[in-house]
Structure 1
Amino acid sequence: MQRDGQNSFSFRDFLKSKLFVSILIVGAVFITLICIGFVVMYERDGSVTQTIDVWRDKLTSEQLVWFESGLDELKKALAVQINTKRAKNVILFVGDGMGPVSVTAGRIFKHGEGGKLSWEDFPHMGLLKTYSMDKQVPDSASTATALFGGVKANYHTNGVDSGVLKEDCQASQNKSHHVESILYWAQKAGKGTGFVTTTRVTHATPASLFANVPDRAWECEAKMPLDAKNQGCIDIARQLIEKEPGSKFNVIMGGGRQCLVSGVEDSENDPLDTWSCISEDGRDLIEKWSTDKMEKEQTFAVVQNNSDLENLDVSSEFVLGVFANGHLAYDHERDKGASGMPSLEEMTTAALRVLRKHQKGFFLVVEGGMIDQAHHRGWAKTALSELAAMDDAVAATLKIMARELDETLIIVTSDHAHTLSMNGYPDKGNSIFGVAQNSRIDNIPYTTLTYGTGGPGGYQVEVDGDGKVHRRDPTLDDTEDYKYIQQVAVLTDENIHGGVDVAVHAMGPMAHLFHCVHENSYVAHVISYAARIGRFRDSSAAGAFFDLLGLS
């Protein structure tokens, strides 16, 4: 059809035109960009539910529960914000011997398979390599030196670098080999400092906070060789009380009276640890500590039982708590009465009340040390009970510090693992201490938890008259008993350490710096950087560095 000599252009022709196709393409691109924008917006806001609503109609109830669970975790992950503030306070928890299997088994023991320990919701985590400078599998002295000083050390040495070998007194007196601890750095920055432990206060892990010795066994003079004394080496207990930084700790709590005071009495409720050092030189370092505070006109308190701790005047500048001759009693065995020993949670909360008054902040180290002691004896249930007690201490800390979490770096980690393993195909809900299944070779039951190495009590095999080796049936014993010794594969003098990586969990300022597999020595450097202490203390150089990063 023509009108006035011009070609008409129908709607059908328009739909076939290049112009219409171009409009369609542009429109499709525009709509796609809008959709992408919405998804990005939802992801930034942590509101991811709108993007998957359409999926839910097609899921069975068995599947839906896990999609909902995944959605909840996605929302939490997307909502995580990096905290780059300066850490006014630092709280470092160390579960001695708390390897990854201990954590898994401890979680099941306390909360069930689907539960979580108090630190497992921290937003940041990594793994730590635990080897020492001379051992693939380390001891607690060398790992504590790495954690607390940022420098890996040799086996059995505290607070010295790898230039000092075990028992080398002369080398240990060379101050150039001394490793400064994170609590020393915190003191120099004007922060309150302290530590609590369920072991002796002179034991391998806490000793690296204040002592510089070539042998962790030198907890008091009685374990030192004569030539070391003649060369002028000083035992760990004296270094705690007489030298910095130990003499300036605001809080010291744990056991170890037998190393601090000579002639202490053995008793059924508070036995001497005959394996460790028992002082014989007439010392009374508790009295010496008190006299020092009086002479300096500093307020102080000495606490030695539950009643003392409950009635503690938290306005005291300094607190020394010594609750046992040796290590503290295991949590399930301790006397909870007035004359008994406190829990790790009770010591931790008391320490926090003392330290929180410091205007420049504080640094507290908390060790759940009896996890390791129980593992050494093959008592898995006792070890996991001690892990549960540390879980209580962390949970209580989170409550107390609730209003200060934004400026408090909290770290939970371990110094090393043990050879505990989790075996078989036990049913969900089965007791973690129960039988997993029968061996397909000899048809003898075996427990879910066993150790790779252990003493005679765990090496439960016998040879019959025909020369055949038989493993003991664990159902003949009460595997739920706190002192049931788990079966082991290799006979040694005791259950010994494992060398696998351990987890580190963190929340608060600079917690995101734990993000992959790290050396255990890295922990001290993160703390130094986050709190601006030690090498990152406030100075012209450090200030310029932080200004460069926009973190001042």
Structure 2
Amino acid sequence: MNKLFTASVLALATASTAFAQDLPQAGSTWFTDGQATIETMLAKQANTGRALNVILFVADGNGVASNYMNRMWAGQQEGGMGDDYVQPFEAFPELALVKTYNINAQTPDSAPTAGAMNTGVKQRFNLINLGENAVHDDCSTVAGNELTLFSELMTQAGKSVGAVTSARLTHATPAAVYAKTANRNWEDAVPEGCTAQKDIASQLVDAMKAGTLDVALGGGARYFVPEGTETPNGGQGGRADGVNLVEMAREAGIDIIADKAELDALDGSKPVLGLIADSHAAYEADRAETEPSLADMTKRAIELLSTNENGFYLEVESGRVDHANHATNAKRAMIDGKAFADAVAMADEMTDDADTLIIVTADHEHAIAMNGYCGRGTPIDGLCFDVAQTGILHTDEPVLAADGKPYTVVGYLNGASSVLVEQEDGTFAAPDGRPDLTQEQAQDIDYTQQVLIPKDSESHSGVDVALYAKGPWAHLFDGTVEQNYIFHVMDYAVNAGE
């Protein structure tokens, strides 16, 4: 390399701060914000203390694209443009991208992705916490393939364990905290002759009785009581085997709660099983005041678990972000995304960065994308409006596709709301093209996006998801990592210095 050129580069680097201050754009807010960010990054100090507590937040199906629309929604609800809004966890100091594939699946399922985070190894599609030699739907392959869980390690260390979800407690992500099963759908029954494992609901109660799970809050009450028996929240049970797990739990000294009032009234002297809905909890947009929000459950779980001076492990899942995306109902997904962010903010406020490792991530992404060249401030839940030639805000004219019709900002590649409709001969076509669409229709809470490929339910995507972290050893998250690596950071953080 030319010596004169090298010397010039070094001189420029040495004088970069002064040089930057002399630039004509130095007075711009964008410029000064960039300089402030540099100062923040230079001041970062790695936290190498031992983690007393670990909180793993999983927004199910909330990949980078889903997270983007949640950010836009939250920011626009506060009167801003949306794109410059910062969600609580987006201010966390550490960031990584996570590869989510399963052992045998390029596009992942929630069961093995959650299992990877709770065991340290990737797993097979539709299985939970079984090794790679286990086979989906084959009970005979369970024995000898059971994996040790992070919750079990934490129990051995004297810590308390909790699982909070807006889905069923027996659903894939929360089940990964305590269950081992050859089929994620064996929530209340296993096949005849299967003696190697119990159904997931029974495993939950067994874990609580054994002290491996101390607080469990979510839906799924129908899987805990027999058919014809009333659930704690007034619904109907669905177990065909006649087993009443709620009564078994009560007899074992476990408190059962079914609504927000009962959750708030707990004295914390016993383990807690919260069954707030027969199936999944309500979407945040539809939630009644009697039903606790995800933030409510997160707050109470931390209060209950914090009574253990040895610390705790808590997994919190926003399950209904995933369900709304499967339904191509972007607006409900965004609203549940905001509820998730509120829960993260609650946990951050209640804990100390010095001794609590908080990880915020997703298990997978969806087949979702943001459409078109939209002007700033375009409502993320509506039509794409054109870029203005002057000023900042978008024009009031929607961007039109080649068919002369507007389209929404948020789109999905596949799903039940396909513009292709089954014809009498069994083929799929759109004889009249895409339906026309108004802003009022697009922003309706029940609107489902126009998609191309017809499917009963929109699919996941294999695209990487983001991870945000703070607290002890959070700096170990960097670059692009495998999903099972999350376990290893959590395990290292609670054992650092031993």
TM-score by length of 1: 0.79
Name the structure 2 match of 1:435. Answer: 383
Point out where structure 1 has 5 or more consecutive residues left out of the alignment: 1-28, 40-50, 294-299, 533-545
* Residues 179-202 of structure 1 deviation map (CA, whole Å, 9 limit, x = unaligned): 111111110100011111111111
Name the structure 1 match of 2:262. Answer: 308
Measure, in 1, the Cα distance between the counterparts of 2:360 and 2:410.
24
**Counterpart amino acid of residue 303 in structure 1:** I
User: How far off is 1:301 after superposition?
Assistant: 2.6
Q: How has the CA–CA distance of structure 1 residues 462 and 479 changed in structure 2, closer, same or farther, with 3 Å as cutoff?
A: farther
Q: How has the CA–CA distance of structure 1 residues 373 and 487 changed in structure 2, closer, same or farther, with 3 Å as cutoff?
A: same
Q: How has the CA–CA distance of structure 1 residues 58 and 270 changed in structure 2, closer, same or farther, with 3 Å as cutoff?
A: farther
Are 1:193 and 2:156 matched, yes or no? no
* Residues 31-90 of structure 1 deviation map (CA, whole Å, 9 limit, x = unaligned): x99x96xx8xxxxxxxxxxx74664465258x6111111011111111110011111110
Matched ranges for 1:71-470 at <5 A: 71-111=35-75, 112-172=82-142, 174=143, 176-221=144-189, 224-228=190-194, 231-243=195-207, 248-263=212-227, 278-293=238-253, 300-314=254-268, 316-336=269-289, 340-401=290-351, 404-436=352-384, 437-455=398-416, 457-459=417-419, 470=433
Measure, in 2, the Cα distance between the counterparts of 1:76 and 1:104.
23
Measure, in 2, the Cα distance between the counterparts of 1:201 and 1:130.
22
Are 1:474 and 2:437 matched, yes or no? yes
Deviating above 4 A after TM superposition, structure 1's stretches of 4 or more consecutive aligned residues are 53-58, 243-247, 264-267, 269-272, 460-463, 466-469
User: Radius of gyration: which is bigger?
Assistant: 1
Q: How has the CA–CA distance of structure 1 residues 108 and 476 changed in structure 2, closer, same or farther, with 3 Å as cutoff?
A: closer
User: How far off is 1:422 after superposition?
Assistant: 0.5
Measure, in 2, the Cα distance between the counterparts of 1:395 and 1:467.
45
Measure, in 2, the Cα distance between the counterparts of 1:271 and 1:495.
29
> Alpha carbon RMSD of aligned pairs, Å?
2.5
CA contact (8 A) 1:145 1:208 kept: yes
User: How far off is 1:423 after superposition?
Assistant: 1.1
User: How far off is 1:138 after superposition?
Assistant: 1.1
User: How far off is 1:227 after superposition?
Assistant: 3.8
**Counterpart amino acid of residue 178 in structure 1:** E
**Counterpart amino acid of residue 133 in structure 1:** I
Measure, in 1, the Cα distance between the counterparts of 2:401 and 2:203.
56
**Counterpart amino acid of residue 98 in structure 1:** N
User: How far off is 1:438 after superposition?
Assistant: 3.8
Q: How has the CA–CA distance of structure 1 residues 422 and 244 changed in structure 2, closer, same or farther, with 3 Å as cutoff?
A: same
**Counterpart amino acid of residue 132 in structure 2:** S
SS of match in other structure, 1:429? coil
Measure, in 2, the Cα distance between the counterparts of 1:370 and 1:270.
22
User: How far off is 1:494 after superposition?
Assistant: 0.7
Measure, in 2, the Cα distance between the counterparts of 1:144 and 1:181.
11
**Counterpart amino acid of residue 369 in structure 2:** S
User: How far off is 1:496 after superposition?
Assistant: 1.0
User: How far off is 1:120 after superposition?
Assistant: 0.5
User: How far off is 1:119 after superposition?
Assistant: 0.4
CA contact (8 A) 2:178 2:213 kept: no
CA contact (8 A) 2:208 2:271 kept: no
* Residues 271-325 of structure 1 deviation map (CA, whole Å, 9 limit, x = unaligned): 77xxxx93122222122112112xxxxxx532111111122213x2411111111
**Counterpart amino acid of residue 404 in structure 2:** N
CA contact (8 A) 1:461 1:471 kept: no
SS of match in other structure, 1:135? coil
**Counterpart amino acid of residue 394 in structure 1:** V
Q: How has the CA–CA distance of structure 1 residues 503 and 270 changed in structure 2, closer, same or farther, with 3 Å as cutoff?
A: farther
CA contact (8 A) 1:241 1:247 kept: no
**Counterpart amino acid of residue 328 in structure 2:** G
CA contact (8 A) 1:184 1:245 kept: no
CA contact (8 A) 1:462 1:470 kept: no
Of 154-163 and 52-61, more deviation after overlay is shown by 52-61
Measure, in 2, the Cα distance between the counterparts of 1:469 and 1:227.
53
User: How far off is 1:252 after superposition?
Assistant: 0.7
* Residues 517-545 of structure 1 deviation map (CA, whole Å, 9 limit, x = unaligned): 1110110011111112xxxxxxxxxxxxx
SS of match in other structure, 1:248? coil
Measure, in 2, the Cα distance between the counterparts of 1:467 and 1:124.
47
Measure, in 2, the Cα distance between the counterparts of 1:78 and 1:527.
25
Q: How has the CA–CA distance of structure 1 residues 158 and 472 changed in structure 2, closer, same or farther, with 3 Å as cutoff?
A: same
Measure, in 2, the Cα distance between the counterparts of 1:304 and 1:324.
7
Q: How has the CA–CA distance of structure 1 residues 88 and 243 changed in structure 2, closer, same or farther, with 3 Å as cutoff?
A: closer
Name the structure 2 match of 1:530. Answer: 493
What is the count of residue pairs matched by the alignment?
Answer: 464
SS of match in other structure, 1:470? coil
**Counterpart amino acid of residue 156 in structure 1:** N
* Residues 353-394 of structure 1 deviation map (CA, whole Å, 9 limit, x = unaligned): 111111111111101111111111111110111110010001
CA contact (8 A) 2:129 2:181 kept: yes
